[in-house]
Amino acid sequence: MNRLKIFLLCICVIAAACSPKVKLKKIEHNIFGLTSSEPAGVDSAAIKMISPYKTAIDSEMNEIIGTSAVVMTKGEPEGLLGNFVADLTLFIARRQYRPDDSINIDFCFLNNGGLRRDLPQGKINKGIIFELMPFENTLVILTLSGQNTYDLIRRIAAMGGMPVAGIRFGIKDKNPVSITLDSKPFDLNRNYKIVTSDYLAEGGENFSFLKNPVRYETIGIKLRDAIIEYILMQTGKGNELNPTLDGRIYYEK
């Protein structure tokens, strides 16, 4: 129960120059760190106001859907949380996707900014997944030219890594090296199919070069629903969630 209090004191002397204008003459400040163990207290009016909303939310969101063996946090060039969500997204999307050219999805990429909280070790309820993925983003399949795919990978490398699945590469001087997909080297002369969120596909986080893909397909599933479905599936199999770091993106020395 630590309450951190930092005091900053400053003196601003405002002197009237050409009256009635006021002028800031001098600022002086000091910083103090103080701690206290006293909690803030309880506001009964707030409890009363929250109550009906909370009851409705809790009845839906307190449902335990799975258990995680580890704490999952974001990381660069890879992180447990990013690996977990990207892997399950690729898995669910591949399962859901019915390609008319019988070519399935090559890899998945998502953004760390879209993962809005860590996952705790232990029981995971539905509410936690809503906080992890509060947005109503849906999954889309983009077919990109080899060059466009390379531009995307280069951008991921330049950003120091993003959540990916189905692809592996090193980062050297902010550029991707030794890119492999399903153990095969990257081929600039073919198209690739990627699964991502509609947010990124429509230029979010300034991925504007994704706006003109060879093909844009939807599979009618929200990213959040994919996460919930995957966790329920693992729970059904008696599995705890246990993602690992596998060096899918690494710094080349």
Partner 1 sequence: MKNRNRRDFLKYLIGTSAYLSLGSVPFELIAKKGFHKLTILYTNDVHSHIDPFPDNDPKFPSMGGVVSRAALIRRIRNEEKNVLLFDAGDIFQGTPYFNRFGGVPELKLMSMMGYDAATIGNHDFDNGIDGIVKVMPNMNFPFICSNYDFSSTAMAGKTVPYRIFEKEGIRIGVFGLGIELEGLVPKNCFGKTFFLDPVQKAAEMAFFLKKEMKCPLVICLSHLGYFYKSNKISDHALARQSKNIDLIIGGHTHTFLDSPPAYRNKENKEIFVCQVGWAGLKLGRIDAFLEGNLAETRMESTIETIRKKTSEI
Shortest approach of partner 1 to residue 71 CB, angstroms? 5
| Residue 36 in the binding site for partner 1 (CB under 8 A) | yes
Amino acid at residue number 8: L
CA distance 39 to 56: 27
How would you list the strands of the sheet with 167-172, edge to edge?
184-185, 175-181, 167-172, 249-251
Strand, coil or helix: 109 = strand
Tokens 């550029």 appear where?
175
Shortest approach of partner 1 to residue 241 CB, angstroms? 14
| Residue 18 in the binding site for partner 1 (CB under 8 A) | no
| Residue 12 in the binding site for partner 1 (CB under 8 A) | yes
Among 101, 184, 206, 220, binds partner 1 (CB under 8 A): 206
Amino acid at residue number 182: D
| Residue 173 in the binding site for partner 1 (CB under 8 A) | no
Show the binding pattern over residues 126-165: x = contacts partner 1 (CB under 8 A), - = does not: -x--xx--xxx-----------------------------
- Cα 221 to Cα 28, 198, 209, distances in angstroms: 56, 11, 23
| Residue 27 in the binding site for partner 1 (CB under 8 A) | yes
| Residue 204 in the binding site for partner 1 (CB under 8 A) | yes
| Residue 100 in the binding site for partner 1 (CB under 8 A) | no
Shortest approach of partner 1 to residue 246 CB, angstroms? 22
CA distance 41 to 244: 41
Among 18, 40, 173, 184, binds partner 1 (CB under 8 A): 40
Amino acid at residue number 69: A
- Number of residues in contact with partner 1 under rule CB under 8 A: 66
CA distance 169 to 251: 9
Shortest approach of partner 1 to residue 80 CB, angstroms? 12
CA distance 228 to 112: 18
CA distance 88 to 168: 16
Residues of the shown chain interacting with partner 1 in the complex, contacts defined by CB under 8 A = 1-16, 20-22, 24, 27-32, 34-36, 38-43, 45-47, 49-50, 53-54, 56-57, 60-61, 71, 73, 116, 118, 120-122, 127, 130-131, 134-136, 199, 202-206, 208
